[in-house]
Amino acid sequence: MHIDYAAELNEQQLAAVTAPPGPLLVIAGAGSGKTRTLTYRVAYLLENGIDPRNILLLTFTNKAARQMLDRVANLLPVDATGIWGGTFHSIGNRMLRRHGSALGYNGGFTIMDREDQKDLINTVVANAGIDPKQIRFPKGDVLAEIFSFVVNTETPMEELLAEKFPYFLPLLEQIKDVQARYQKKKKAANSMDFDDLLEKTLSMLQQEEGIAAVYRRQFQFVLVDEYQDTNKIQADLIDTLAREHRNVMVVGDDAQSIYSWRGANFKNILEFPKRYPDAQVFKIEMNYRSVPEILEVANAAIAANVQQFRKNLQPTRESHAVKPAVVALNDGSEQAQFVAQRILELRDEDVDLGDIAVLYRAHYHAIELQLELSRRGIPYQITSGVRFFEQAHIKDVTSFIRFTANPRDEVAFKRMVKLLPGIGNRSGENLWNAWEKS
């Protein structure tokens, strides 16, 4: 079975998929078949004799990696299970399970979620003798956010606070002390947070040349999805793994970067040709998703970007003759009033409320809208939910499993014992101290 790439891909996709080895930057506009391009690139490498074990596919979600590899399996009669595919965090986790002993961890380390982080940081703050109320010290979730920014952007603490949290700058030394205690506490508990999965992996590859050499030999081809939303440490991980062979393909769109709020830096994609001066740059501009009217607005908006790879999205769908409206409003309150009024107008035009959807970037953006809808008596339903493993009763159950697997997991121990009648924070701390000494 042989894939007819020219029949399956458009000319722009084909050029990227069949490019020779070396650094490749693929600027894939919205709806242009980015996933298809990456999938066929993997298939192309396999068809040309590359061992699946020599391919690393980094995606924004593990689901995306599974879907791509499933498509590859459907395209070719080959066993692609040897390909390492997943998020940066999952790949880092996999490496650290194998080689974390080089950093003083054993392979059974626990991974903490953000709620676990907050609990452990609050414990550290209390143990440091800091009264958050007295000096307005940042709470555990805010400290977790600060520490995460420091790791993901590789920015010194003082610089980070000055830029994003200037009101905490007078507390710099105390925050740095809490950070150091937090790191020590995690190490003692054989636990890592999600940021550690990146930081520890990069540290291991930089400090342990023997381990780094193993993975550089293994991953002869590195492919990266959604490159515009990578952060500094992720870009450094890619560059470290591809340092010798430089066979790295990054796919993304500088105009679609949306994760700067958690440390992503769209300059990674803009500056890729600077880091890899011999990089080939491909543009995929045929849009299969949107009607011409949508693309006309999108192209006009993108054209105003000062820093960008110039592109012009071309439609493949027919016109619907319905033009989108771009409405400029002064603030969130005015925006909420406009949306609510438009919903009432649509209802008067016999449009069912169940056929109307309001999309927003984050839940806090919808607070004013919810108030306005309620004020006008417009019924609404918010579609959302807590992730399965973040639900309180699920975390209660998994705390027993986590502690059984890792008896040094302080967060799991305290959550477990606080399920008992009469056990609170202080009693939980005393029981943990007794357990540590036993």
Q: What is the mean pLDDT, run by run of 10 residues, along the chain of 438 residues? A: 91 97 94 93 95 95 90 87 94 96 91 91 92 85 95 95 94 96 94 96 96 96 95 96 96 84 85 95 93 88 84 87 86 94 95 93 83 92 71 83 87 87 83 83
| Spatial separation of the C-alpha atoms in residues 422 and 431, rounded to whole Å | 13
User: What is residue 434's predicted lDDT score, i.e. its pLDDT?
Assistant: 82
| Spatial separation of the C-alpha atoms in residues 46 and 37, rounded to whole Å | 14
| Spatial separation of the C-alpha atoms in residues 338 and 236, rounded to whole Å | 44
According to DSSP, residue 108 is labeled T
| Spatial separation of the C-alpha atoms in residues 205 and 220, rounded to whole Å | 16
- 372 vs 234, 325, 346, 361, 378, CA distance in Å? 41, 21, 16, 18, 9
User: What is residue 134's predicted lDDT score, i.e. its pLDDT?
Assistant: 74
User: What is residue 394's predicted lDDT score, i.e. its pLDDT?
Assistant: 84
| Spatial separation of the C-alpha atoms in residues 165 and 146, rounded to whole Å | 8
| Spatial separation of the C-alpha atoms in residues 340 and 202, rounded to whole Å | 49
The contacts of residue 425 (CB under 8 Å, 6+ apart) are 414, 418
Q: Which two tokens stand for residue 389?
A: 């493993």
Closest CA to 292 of 263, 271, 323: 323
Closest CA to 3 of 37, 47, 35, 66: 47
Burial of 415 (0-12, 13-18, 19+ CB in 10 A): buried
Query: 115: how many CB neighbours lie within 10 A of its CB?
Result: 17
49 torsion bin: left (phi>0), alpha (psi -120 to 50), beta (else) = left
| Spatial separation of the C-alpha atoms in residues 405 and 401, rounded to whole Å | 6
User: What is residue 385's predicted lDDT score, i.e. its pLDDT?
Assistant: 59
| Spatial separation of the C-alpha atoms in residues 28 and 133, rounded to whole Å | 49
| Spatial separation of the C-alpha atoms in residues 59 and 166, rounded to whole Å | 34
Rg (the chain; Cα; Å): 25
User: What is residue 190's predicted lDDT score, i.e. its pLDDT?
Assistant: 93
Beta strand 280-284 pairing with 248-252 = unpaired
User: What is residue 387's predicted lDDT score, i.e. its pLDDT?
Assistant: 63
User: What is residue 275's predicted lDDT score, i.e. its pLDDT?
Assistant: 94
User: What is residue 226's predicted lDDT score, i.e. its pLDDT?
Assistant: 94
